[in-house]
Structures are given as C-alpha cells and as structure tokens.
Structure 1
Amino acid sequence: MNKLLTTIFAVAVSCVTVSSLAQEVKGDAKAGETKNAMCIGCHGIKGYQASFPEIYKVPMISGQGGKYIVAALNAYKKGERKHPTMRSIAESLNDQDIADLAAYYSTHGAAAGAELPAKPAKEPSADVQALLNKANCASCHGANFSKPVDPAYPKIAGQHSDYLFVALKAYKTDNNPKVGRGNAIMAGMAKQYTNAELKLLANYLASVDGELKVIPQSKFR
C-alpha cells in the first residue's frame, strides 16, 4: 500500500512539473520592444511621477529581473496588486506579451561585463543595519540587494526611495479594494516596521548602487 501511494505521489509530482514547464512562455526581447507603448509613457521618462495612491516616482524597470516582471504583471492582472491603472494595462496583455516585455526590460540598457560588488559599497548606519537584520532583507534580495535568491524576487538596490516606501506600505494595507499587495511573506515582513522605519529602509536601499535605470525613449509610438 505504501509503495502504491509513493508511486501515485511520484506520478502526480511528475505531472505537475511537466505542466509547469509546458506553461512557461519564452520571451523575445525584440518582440517586447514593439509592445512597450503602454510602458514608455511612464517608465521611459526620467523623474516621471505617479499620483496614486500618493505622489511618487514610478519604478525603474530597465535592468529588472525578467521573472520578477512576469510575476509583478501577473499579480496586477489577478488583482493581487491593487493599482487600477496597472491592472487595466496588465489585463490587456496575454502570457506571450508579458514574457516578451519581461525579456526586453531585463536586458534594456544592460552593460556587458558590468558586475556589482558582492556587498554595497555604502555601509548602512547602525540603526538601518538593525532594521535590515530584523526582516533579513538580504536573505531574499541578495547581500547587495541586486542579486535576489529567486529570480521572481525584485532587485531593489538603487530603486527610487519614494516608490520603495509606497510599495512597502502597500504590503501593510488590508481590506482596501484599490490599494495593497497580496503577498503573505512581504506582508509579514513589512508589518514589523513603522512607516518611519520603512522610510529609513527605502532611503538606504535607494542609495545603494544597482542595475536599475530609466532609459528615455527616443520616440513615443
């Protein structure tokens, strides 16, 4: 009986693995470049600010990890990330579109041979280091905050501080139909901090050298 159950379990795991591999869509960066018209109006302008749910610079996505971009867009599409504009954009994209955009932005502006140091050159203050240690941020986002242990996690080094602050607060938001992010792990981490502490973390992470950037578009389509 035990042997039969073991065999059934192995077959089930095998089927799930094959299914997940079959569902993985390969992105084409060149195709993504032709599909980014809805992206460049915000993410392709240096200093561009969003006004919902408060004023902040839109995140830099050039140089961001491809699998994270896929995960984020799907989260907006499913409503796990509650942002009306981003949800409407994500809902207009199919899986191939999302994969192509992720492939494009993950390589957009990447410098060949460029390598960040293993740890940030700028040391945090003792207070900030204590906050980083509290949730062990480096355990997921990497010691330099630009090499996450899982490619579905974001690079956060050098990201705009005001965006990081808004994003972190969103994980603390519950039962709001228009604002919030449904990620149990990040919610548990973010809720350990006051908003003042989150702002300190965001300011430090923004000051760290990273691979994220805004690359102005030569034209709008």
Structure 2
Amino acid sequence: MSEQKPELSRVRRKRQNNKGNKMLNWMIAIVVLLIVLVGVKILSSDSTPENKEAAITETTPDDETGSIVSSDDETEAENNSGSSDQADDSEDDDSSKEGTVSDESGDSEDSGDSSQKKEDKKEGTVTYTASEDAVVDETVSNTSWEPVGTSQSGNHVSQYDGKSIDWKEKQKALAYATGMSENELIFWKIKNGGSPQKSIGIVSSKDKSKKYRVYLEWVDGEGWKPTQMDVLNTLDFDY
C-alpha cells in the first residue's frame, strides 16, 4: 500500500495541473475573444458615416472669433457666398430700377422747381418808391400783377356808370391790387386815367385806416390790370 501512494499523488498532481492548464487556456481564449470583439467594435464604429465625416473634418481657426470652422461649414459658407453674390446681383438690378425711379423722381423735382420758378415769377418783384406828392406815403409797383379777366367782348368801351360790367370789373381790379376783398373796401371814386383805356380808383378800408389810389390799364381780351398803387396818408384831397 505504501508503494502506490506516490503514484496516486503524481496522478492527482497531473490531473490538477491539467485542470489548471485548461482553466488558463479558457481564460486566455476568453481574453482573446474579448480583444477580438473590442477590435471589431472599434473598427465598425470607425467605419460609420459620422466617424468618416469626423475623419475628413478639417478644423481651421476663424480669424475674428477663434472658433472652429469645419469643411462642411466652409461648403455652407461657399453656398452662402454664392447666394450673397446672387443677392448682390439682385440688389444691383434693384438699384438700377431704383436709379430709374430716382431719375423719374428727379424729373418730378425738376418739374417742381419749374413750378416754383413759375410761382416766383407770379409773385414777381414789389417795388416801393417814395413820393413827392404830399398825400402819398409811397408808391407801389408789382411785376406779378395781371389782368383780372373779363366777360366783355368786341371793342372795349370804358364806363363809369356805377352798374355796368366794365365798372364792376374795375372794382375787382382795384380790390386785387390792394390785396383786400371788394366787401372790405369803400370805393370813393373811379375816374378816367387820362385815356379811354386807363382808369384811376380811390379806395380805402371800411375803417379808413388803409387808403389807396390805384392806376388801371385795359388789356384787350384780358381785362383791367393794375399798374401802380399809391399808399395814401389822407382822403382829404381833390380827387
């Protein structure tokens, strides 16, 4: 019995060693398998579109902000640049159109200037001249004065009857020269001005604070036109 014990011990040790080797081999196999799985996973993740895009992404610093601009951003920037160029072209076209409108506006302004010139011409030049006449403070002339119009036709005959159309048109011309309405005036006298086509009218405001002597001249087809106006300081004179 004592002679078999060492053999049994060797067998047991051998079996134990075999079991230990098997366990070690399994562990090695598991580790290798894990390494393979991890490698496959890494390779598969590297091959995904996102990683591919990440792999080809170039980073460039933005000069102004220091931010990172990818190649995709550059592509988008180029697209935006193309859009901007198109927008600029569109704006240029709009500018051309606006220029046309502006030219039309300029024509309108020129037209406005012409109208203004006409108005200035219509306003004319008013001249005040001192008079040596004792009853006259000053004499006024206005280049803008025009004939007041007439409803008369044919050969003109000046009338002083106080009721005719010609008489009423004389009153209208006198009021026009003074800048007052006929209802605001007293017509003291309207008389012949030295020829058949000239008249003189003496008028004043209702309160007599304003007093005038107006010289009229007939214009064929257009009516009576003021030519001169004396600003009077009194009505107490022979008229």
TM range (shorter): under 0.3
User: Which has more strand, going by share of residues?
Assistant: 2
Higher relative contact order (CA 8 A, sep 6+): 1
Query: TM-score with structure 1 length normalisation?
Result: 0.24
Query: TM-score with structure 2 length normalisation?
Result: 0.22
